[in-house]
Amino acid sequence: MDMPIELSVIIPTYNEKSNISVIIERIIKTLEGKITFEIIVVDDDSPDQTWGLVKKISTADSRIHLLRRIGRRGLSSAVVEGFSAARGATLAVIDADLQHDERILPDMYAASSEANLVVGSRKVEGGKIENWNLIRRWVSNIATLLAKIFLVTPLKDPMSGFFLLKRETFSRIESEINPRGFKILLEILYRSKEKKIKEIGYTFRPRVAGVSKLSTSTIFDFLYSLLEMRFGRWISLRFLKYALVGVSGVGVNLASLWLLHEKFQVDASLSLSTAIFLSMLSNFFLNNQFTFRDYALEAQALWVGFFRFFLVCSVGALINYALTQFLMGRGGNLYLADLVGISVATVWNYIVNQHVTWSSDRG
Ligand code: GDD
Ligand code: MN
């Protein structure tokens, strides 16, 4: 009889030929003699033939398994398939590129006697990130903040791709998981509503070999799935797209305000009104190409449309302003009041623009 497997470690790979043997060796070194384990590499038919190397390793060591997926791509879905194929009582996922510190795996496993979900964390004591530039830090912090707000999670590092969970927790939600994009931990948090969670700090190392598969579309995908997780049950997909464009508009607004005012020393009110105008312009074009793609305006109708959009949004801005003032007058907190104002204005803008700006029945 085989020993029961205590821990299954899933390693998703895409073009990680120069990292995969090292990470496997390091995991073995960490776990051997302490925890009975198996390692499952889920490779999406990497062009660099990572799978070939893993196949060789797995022939020599029965604890190593290869799951080669043909014609499919995606980090989250690879992780879910790995979990489904695993036999261990606990399931862990770790990146192949040596950015996650495999040496905390035993601690993570030990913590699973108390917690159902254990997260390798860069944002608790003992955790940090090496060599990230300002922009990457900023993007990561904003994403983390949004995830916290939308999912109401106690996790300090909900964006982690390094975690461990009990098999029961996974089995309970296996059939509901929507394995899209990069953020499988968020999806698991959302579906399982797990409260027994622990974070363990580690240093996120820079990638040495190979390239990251994260792209700009990953970021949009992330924002989109956050909105969908939070509101998908109640609200239409088109509204979600509209709201997403709205969020991008805030970015355009802040960036141009900063550029004009700080960099080019334009005075505050001119910078502000230009920033508002620019964000309306970018929102209009994005909504035209994305949210209302099926009613997209062209040529002359485009400018008429923009004029309408501009008027509708100006009324929205007034609603925002008036409502915020009103709530403040009743002793509300400024930021909270503004948030309510923004939400109501967004719904107004959406409903009216849908009929006035992108209406298909207007000929
Ligand atoms: N099977 C499979 N299919 N594996 C993939 C795919 C895919 O489509 N895309 C990426 N991977 C594998 C990579 O080979 C690597 O082992 C791991 O998933 C992480 O991919 P990276 O490209 O290195 O991602 P990253 O470093 O930008 O992002 C990591 O850190 C983020 C936090 O900053 C991931 O762990 C994210 O989940 C995490 O949020
Ligand atoms: Mn990486």
CB 20 within 8 A of CB 13: yes
**According to the model, what pLDDT value does residue 228 have?**
79
**Euclidean distance between CA atoms 225 and 207, whole angstroms:** 26
pLDDT at 166: 98
pLDDT at res. 357: 93
Q: How far is the CA of 204 from the centre of ligand 2 (A)?
A: 9
Q: Is the CB of 212 under 6 A from ligand 1?
A: yes
What CA–CA distances, in Å, run from 324 to 242, 248, 331?
A: 22, 22, 11
The predicted structure's pLDDT at residue 47: 97
Give all domains of the chain, ordered by start, each with its CATH number. 7-231 (3.90.550.10), 237-356 (no CATH)
Which among 159, 203, 213 is the best mutation to test ligand 1's pocket, defined by most ligand atoms within 8 Å of the CB? Answer: 213
Q: In this structure, which ligand is nearest to the CA of 136? A: 1
Cα(213) to centroid of ligand 1, in Å?
A: 6
Q: Report the pLDDT value the prediction gives residue 1, as an integer from 0 to 100.
A: 56
d(CA 263, CA 256): 10
In tens, the pLDDT along 291-314 reads 998 889 998 899 999 999 999 999
Indicate if ligand 1 lies below 6 Å from the C-beta of 187: no
Distance of CA 316 to the CA centre of its chain: 29
Question: 21 CA distance to ligand 1 centroid (A)?
Answer: 17
* Residue in 13, 65, 77 to alter for ligand 1 test, most ligand atoms within 8 A of Cβ: 13
* Cα 75 → chain centroid: 12
Confirm or reject: Cβ of 99 under 6 Å from ligand 1: yes
CA atoms within 13 A on the CB side of 245: 24
Ligand 1 neighbour 44 (Cβ under 6 A)? yes
Q: Residue 2 gets which letter from DSSP? A: P
Model confidence, pTM: 0.72
User: Which stretches of the chain score pLDDT less than 70?
Assistant: 1, 360-363
Ligand 1 binding pocket includes 14 (Cβ within 6 Å): yes
